[in-house]
Amino acid sequence: MPLRPDQLAAWASIATLVERLPRALDAQLQESCGLTHFEFGLLYALDTAPERTLRLSTLAGYASSTLSRLSRAFTRLERRGLVRRETDAADGRFTLGILTDAGHDLVQSALPGHHQLVRELVFDTLSDTEAAQLGEMSRRIAERIDPADVWTPTP
């Protein structure tokens, strides 16, 4: 059954957003700190984790990434001295990703510009109610695609 005209119009807007937003975020982060949005997301998740450490399998889940994609990104970040890997002492079957001090410093220096762009592109175009609704709708769609836990910021 084809989409109704109103559904097709909504889908066109969503598909365009899904294409344009990552490009804009990547461009700003590449310019400010030489990272992709994906790489920055990994560093940010580590930066907000207890002891700036997560199992790589957990980090891959948060990033909706395969372990191989995560490993390639992690290797690039390791070369820059932003992260390191260690075997999990609690369970040697797992590898931990650890944010270095240099990684923490880079995240902190990149955050103001990144947050400013997100504010300009997303939140300045919506009311607080609309932003909350968009967040809720996005969460529901993401859970429909994959019910695995998604990363959420800790207060």
pLDDT tens-digit map of 115-151: 999 999 999 999 999 999 999 999 899 889 988 766 6
Both tokens of residue 35? 């990272």
Higher-pLDDT residue of 78 and 66 is 78
Does the pLDDT at position 28 exceed 70? yes
pTM for this prediction: 0.89
Q: Which strand ranges, in their side-by-side order, compose the sheet holding 95-99? A: 53-55, 95-99, 83-87
pLDDT tier for residue 104 given thresholds of 50, 70 and 90: very high
Query: Cβ neighbours of residue 56 under 8 Å, at least 6 residues apart?
Result: 67, 70, 71, 74, 85, 94, 95, 96, 97
pLDDT surpassing 70 at residue 155: no
Specify the pLDDT at position 152.
Answer: 72
Average pLDDT of the residues of the chain? 94
pLDDT of 12 higher than 70? yes
**Contact call for residues 76 and 40 (beta carbons, < 8 A):** no
- The CATH architecture annotation of domain 20-145 reads Orthogonal Bundle (1.10)
Q: What residue segments make up the domains of the chain, in order of their start?
A: 20-145
- Average pLDDT on 92-109 reads 97
Q: How far apart are CA 91 and CA 10, in angstroms?
A: 47
Confidence band (pLDDT; 50, 70, 90) for 62? Answer: confident
